[in-house]
Amino acid sequence: MLMAVVRQPQAAASGDSGGARKENKPRALLANECAALAAIIRHKVRDASAVYAEAPQPRLTMTIRHRPTKNTVIFGAAAAWGLLLISCVAVNRTMLAPPFIAGATFVGNKECMECHEEKTGHFGSATHAKVTLADAKLGSTGCEACHGAGSLHVKAGGTKTTIVNPMKSPDTCFQCHLEKRGEFSLANSHGVLTGKMGCGDCHNPHEGNMVRGKGASMESANETCTTCHTAQKGPFTFKHNAMKEGCVSCHNPHGSVNQKMLVARDANLCLSCHLETATRSGIILAGGEDHRTRIQGGTCWSAGCHEAIHGSHASPALRY
């Protein structure tokens, strides 16, 4: 797991007239700290202690160096911290140790291709094709990065008990996507942590851009959701324009503190798109109508106004 190391200068030792400086041992910000920090910064959780406690141990070291001069201490520390935040929050790709299988050694991709051509045939187009194993001499991306060393699996003729199946072990996915574990721990989430479903129900790790729908279009991404949520699929005579932007424009697909896994609470979600400039102070203008008294009844859909929030066959305003 990613470990950032920030080297800070140390004042000259007493009696050292030459002003020589000794460098402190690097302080490591471990993966669990990084993940907890990322969860808090993303405003997904208030208490990231669970994420912190269960994070795996670091496997990769990233050293951030800056000149050990007095004038650059503050700036250097701030820059290093900023870089770390970007690495933790915005970038989810690191090189990690693969799942551990006692007694097994790496065999390389060619061995996997002998039996799993349906998985490896289009793997070059997959997002996971960019993940590499530094320690395993595999030449490029290894299947064993996610499935663990495969020698015992090959020797046993492909038995399921000698290899890791990430579909049944989401912790394998959390090795890289640790912030998603935090989202799954929120009050409203898909049941990955409880075993009701797996990451592979929505994501295809072996081909394309990771979602189960075919292609990278928003319609394709929606197909991934409507495979289970059939009532929201339509077709509708009057379709909510937000559906064209994708289900994820309103829902966090992993988890949320809000009901129905919404990205914002109650009418705040709708007003993020439908709020218009009011001519008088205090007016909440949406669709040319003052909604001050209406949204007090609850959400836009539970207040009895726009109940057909995904689409309607009768009402252009999605009332029913």
73-83 pLDDT per residue, tens: 455 555 554 54
Q: Are 299 and 267 in contact (CB under 8 A)?
A: yes
* Residue-wise pLDDT tens digits, 107-131: 888 888 889 988 888 888 887 877 6
Q: Provide, rounded to the nearest whole percent, the portion of the chain with pLDDT above 90.
A: 18
Band of the pLDDT at 217, cuts 50, 70, 90? low
Joined tokens for residue 65: 């160096």
Give the residue, 48 or 228, on which the prediction is more confident: 228
End-to-end CA distance of the chain: 50
CA atoms in the 13 A half-sphere facing the CB of 290: 8
Give the pLDDT score at 317: 87
Give the pLDDT score at 250: 93
Instruction: Classify residue 7 as exposed, middle or buried by CB count within 10 Å of its CB (0-12, 13-18, 19+).
Output: middle
Band of the pLDDT at 94, cuts 50, 70, 90? very low
The total of other beta-carbon atoms located within 10 Å of residue 163's CB is 21
Band of the pLDDT at 31, cuts 50, 70, 90? very low
Give the pLDDT score at 320: 82
H or E, element range at 244: helix 242-245
Give the pLDDT score at 78: 52
Give the residue, 220 or 274, on which the prediction is more confident: 274
pLDDT(293) > 70:
yes
- Range from 31-35, 57-61, 89-93, 246-250 carrying the lowest mean pLDDT: 57-61
DSSP summary character for residue 123: G
What value does the mean pLDDT take over residues 219-228? 84
* Residue-wise pLDDT tens digits, 179-205: 999 999 999 999 999 999 999 899 888
What value does the mean pLDDT take over residues 219-240? 87
Band of the pLDDT at 135, cuts 50, 70, 90? low
What value does the mean pLDDT take over residues 130-145? 62
Band of the pLDDT at 263, cuts 50, 70, 90? very high
Give the residue, 314 or 55, on which the prediction is more confident: 314
Q: Are 217 and 224 in contact (CB under 8 A)?
A: no
Band of the pLDDT at 313, cuts 50, 70, 90? very high
d(C-alpha 118, C-alpha 94), whole Å: 26
pLDDT(68) > 50:
no
- Mean of per-residue pLDDT scores for the chain: 72
What value does the mean pLDDT take over residues 71-99? 50
What value does the mean pLDDT take over residues 145-174? 89
- Dihedral sign, Cα of residue 101, residue 105, residue 107, residue 108: positive
* Residue-wise pLDDT tens digits, 295-312: 776 678 877 788 888 999
